[in-house]
Every structure is written in structure tokens, then in C-alpha cells.
Amino acid sequence: AQKITQTQPGMFVQEKEAVTLDCTYDTSDPSYGLFWYKQPSSGEMIFLIYQGSYDQQNATEGRYSLNFQKARKSANLVISASQLGDSAMYFCAMRELSQGGSEKLVFGKGTKLTVNP
């Protein structure tokens, strides 16, 4: 079974600084995908970034980048130039292929990020 570990229950960062949120994973599948989602206090899940196991380059989306280290099985999220609106829960997830074409997501427990002014 696949597993996602997020070891930082909470993180604090000053506005305009960069922050790294850790994620390690465990899988025996050679082909896999890793996702990061943001969950503000309102509760919706917002997709941020995706990294495929065969992607040659680290994924980037605006201020978000993924530090993908395959040998270490880590997929850390880097947020540059933090903004107050970045305060939220952040979840790392892995796609698990299953019956009938299911692409269910296996989530970590999340990291609560607080951006201080």
C-alpha cells in the first residue's frame, strides 16, 4: 500500500519569505504521481501542483515549485514570496491506480502553514 508522510504539523513563515513543506512517500510502483493541495479554513481543496514519477524536471506553477528527489522519495513543496492568503492546511497526496480505472488519492495528514505579517 502507498503511504504519504508529512512530518510538520505546523509551520510559520514571515510574509514575503520562502517556505518548504516536507513530504515523503512510499510506493513499490515504478509509475506514480504526486499532488499538493491547499485547504483554506473554508474547507475546499485547491489543487496546486503535480509531479509525475517520470517527469525529468521539477514541477513549477507560479509561486509553487516541487522539490522532487526520487531516490530519497521526497516531494517537498516550496512556496516563494509567501502571502497572508497562503495561510492554510497543505496536503501532499499520491495517486493510487486501482480497480476499474480508479485514480484515488492517498493523502498525508497535512501541514498547517501560518504566514505572519
The smaller minimum CB distance to other proteins, of residues 11 and 106, is found at 106
Q: Which is nearer to other proteins, 37 or 79 (CB)?
A: 37
The region of 10-18, 22-30, 72-80, 88-96 touching other proteins under the rule CB under 8 A is: 88-96
Residue 117 near residue 17, CB atoms below 8 Å: no
Instruction: Give the whole-angstrom CA distance, residue 40 versus residue 46.
Output: 8
CA 4 to chain centre: 10
The CA distances from residue 110 to 38, 98, 102, in Å, are: 9, 23, 23
Q: Does 99 sit near other proteins (CB under 8 A)? A: yes
Site string for other proteins, 45-74 (x = CB under 8 A): x-x--x-x----------------------
Interface of this chain with other proteins, residues 8 to 37, rule: CB under 8 A: 33, 35, 37
Chain contacts with other proteins (rule: CB under 8 A): 4, 33, 35, 37, 42-45, 47, 50, 52, 91, 93, 95, 98-110
